[in-house]
Structure 1
């Protein structure tokens, strides 16, 4: 009986087993083929998805229409309360709080923008974004933001664009090209954003420009002047002239007005604008019969030492020194001026036109000549400077003027066509122009500003720093 049990044939499994086995093998083969043909899928994990979501949240944390504080300097309790009310949709309370904050600190452009946004609430608006380096250079960020805020305040007080007010979104790109590119992508995804004012540094504008171009979103930089921004895209503009104009004016002054025999240059190897201006200036000087010192000087160098560099310049016979710092290295430039001790005549780029230059440089920068596009004393008939001084309780500089001009160009374009592509078509037209803070604003086919530069000189004054920039006669 035992043998008969051992040799007895087993019955075949039910058909459902074969069906399940076939489906399992088929699904497994499909999964393996997909993984092999698309290796990136194999790297997708819960952790990477969480990281992606965190990255999106991080970007959203640096963009605000009034629901979060980006500028915490001189923060008032009323401004904090206004932001909290905005986040809750309590528009009337937000308006009251922002107004109270501006009574205490009238020089706060973020609060003025949030006030105007609160007045709009959830009503229809034309949305414009501005990207500034709050986290890396607060002074420059606020200078740019004041121009945007002033333009928004004026147009909304006058009834808006064809009856529709402007709402402004603010972003802090920290003058970081990678962060700026991500912010640009967020701006592009928001179909309500019709234009962007930004960015500050040329490196940053260059990183963001392809994204704006690809998404048909006009971007107007008030401060980026690098040569390679010219013609980078039909949606990319700027209200500051190409730095070739700056190089021309500075070289003319150095070789013709001052007749420098040899000019030393200290630039920043990490800055596109600084390197471009050095190259353009050098070409102009040489063509004018001048000479450039061979001693290298780089603000970004690890071993940067002004006390060691100045004697080398003098040994080469230099009698002039051109300072071309990145906007975030003004302190290094003033260190250079301090080490100079008046031995070489100082000239500088428009980047040096900051409060920080006067504050840190003091007597060491006295007499320094710099390039600029605008000064409040140049055109007394233009109401911008007086209106700005009244609004901000102080004198503004060229960055406020050129950012105001960027807004004026956008506003003029949106009046004719309130769409992304329509705006680009309007301001690209050969006959387009608008009155701005710095004069007539019109663009070349390259997107560059059609204008010239001027020279300013640092001289003693009754200002808070004891010095100021004054136009050269």
Structure 2
């Protein structure tokens, strides 16, 4: 059923290496497979992501969204007559912690599935463990092209980065009319991969005047990006594509506009967060990015969701938070329609369902991926608005 990017042998070898290297005690292909909940009064869903540290907003957002979805189901009587319970795990956005958490989840044998993790590299460390133990994982955020190919229990409710990269490049060239592209990227697997994809997309634009004039890699969480900014500015960049989260985009915008107030800045959906505006202030006015979910949508279902989320948690939901909300909804719907929490049965059902959620109509393909339309968003007068 699944066209794998990684071979079964490679995925199995990776699982073995991870488990043996961490001293885990087993985890054969059936060791963690779930059956029905039996006498349990709850159906447990694990949420794994960074609950502390620089990227904690994402993990907390995932948890808030999953709890909100669970409450909606519980208010209607639960799933299969049982209460849905959300159990959060803090992976600190590190592969080491994610390995420990994945091993705990499969050892406990209580979770009907996992929503998470956040960063692609972290997801790809944990995914082979879930795959080997037949635990469903749906990442709301992983965009690395190889992630879902790890196995047929591995899903993503996010587009692969090449799709989003196309949208960011399109904004830079066609919407903003820029030709001299600068790239600043964080030194992570995601940042490196994304920057390379941007270069390839720019080269394939078909316009001989459009080119990447400079690319600078930076440490995530740095306070001073001026050395990289100076090089980009000296190279003549008229737009800079930021391959990083809001904690990169906000300080880059502040520091860059002190040097060149006219610079255009384009990001990705992982920067679409109220935190970007709070951290960047006036400097992030005009920053653009593509998003799958737009909180200012006129769609009645989206408006109701945003109002409810904002009332419960004090801020509007981000795109990735909303993808976590729909991910939890898809998993619970699959369990309900399957009539069981048996992981293989639920996994097969996930490939069949067509889910209408706040992030659009979602259908997993045979590789566990989705394809969705992007909305182009910018910041104007301190608010997110659609680009005209």
Same fold (TM > 0.5): yes
Residue 131 of structure 1 corresponds to: 48
User: Is 1:281 matched with 2:204?
Assistant: no
Alpha-carbon distance, 1:174 to partner: 0.4
Residue 353 of structure 1 corresponds to: 272
Q: Deviation digits for residues 27-51 of structure 1, max 9, x if unmatched?
A: xxxxxxxxxxxxxxxxxxxxxxxx9
Residue 359 of structure 2 corresponds to: 438
Alpha-carbon distance, 1:319 to partner: 0.9
> Unaligned 5+ residue runs, structure 2?
1-21, 25-38
User: Is 1:472 matched with 2:387?
Assistant: yes
* TM-score, normalised via structure 2 length: 0.82
Task: Please identify which structure carries the higher strand content.
Answer: 2
Give the aligned length.
346
User: Is 1:400 matched with 2:321?
Assistant: yes
User: Is 1:314 matched with 2:233?
Assistant: yes
Residue 378 of structure 2 is aligned with which of 423, 436, 457?
457
Aligned residues: CA RMSD: 2.5
Q: Which piece of structure 1 moves more, 308-317 or 253-262?
A: 308-317
Alpha-carbon distance, 1:355 to partner: 2.6
Q: Which has the higher contact order (CA 8 A, sep 6+)?
A: 2
Counterparts in 2 of 1:334 and 1:262: CA distance versus 1, 3 Å? closer
- Preserved contact between residue 389 and residue 396 of structure 1 (Cα < 8 Å): yes
Task: Please identify which structure carries the higher helix content.
Answer: 1
Alpha-carbon distance, 1:212 to partner: 0.6
- Preserved contact between residue 373 and residue 454 of structure 1 (Cα < 8 Å): yes
- Preserved contact between residue 385 and residue 437 of structure 1 (Cα < 8 Å): no
> Unaligned 5+ residue runs, structure 1?
1-50, 54-121, 461-466
Structural mapping, 1:22-421, within 5 Å: 124-136=41-53, 137-270=55-188, 272-288=189-205, 289=207, 291-300=210-219, 306-326=225-245, 329=248, 332-382=251-301, 383-417=304-338, 418-421=341-344
Alpha-carbon distance, 1:310 to partner: 3.2
Alpha-carbon distance, 1:349 to partner: 1.4
Counterparts in 2 of 1:282 and 1:159: CA distance versus 1, 3 Å? same
Counterparts in 2 of 1:182 and 1:331: CA distance versus 1, 3 Å? farther
Residue 8 of structure 2 corresponds to: none
* TM-score, normalised via structure 1 length: 0.68
Q: Deviation digits for residues 252-284 of structure 1, max 9, x if unmatched?
A: 1222222212100000122x2222222222222
Q: Deviation digits for residues 120-175 of structure 1, max 9, x if unmatched?
A: xx961111100120122332222221110100111011101121111121100000
Secondary structure, counterpart of 1:293 in structure 2: strand
* In structure 2, C-alpha distance between the alignment counterparts of 1:336 and 1:170, rounded to whole Å: 36
Residue 427 of structure 1 corresponds to: 350
Counterparts in 2 of 1:424 and 1:154: CA distance versus 1, 3 Å? same
Secondary structure, counterpart of 1:231 in structure 2: helix
* In structure 2, C-alpha distance between the alignment counterparts of 1:448 and 1:422, rounded to whole Å: 19
- Preserved contact between residue 164 and residue 290 of structure 2 (Cα < 8 Å): yes
- Preserved contact between residue 320 and residue 346 of structure 1 (Cα < 8 Å): yes
* In structure 2, C-alpha distance between the alignment counterparts of 1:313 and 1:411, rounded to whole Å: 47
Alpha-carbon distance, 1:303 to partner: 9.6
Alpha-carbon distance, 1:208 to partner: 0.3
Q: Deviation digits for residues 203-232 of structure 1, max 9, x if unmatched?
A: 110110100110110000111212221422
Secondary structure, counterpart of 1:363 in structure 2: helix
Alpha-carbon distance, 1:323 to partner: 0.9
- Preserved contact between residue 244 and residue 271 of structure 2 (Cα < 8 Å): yes
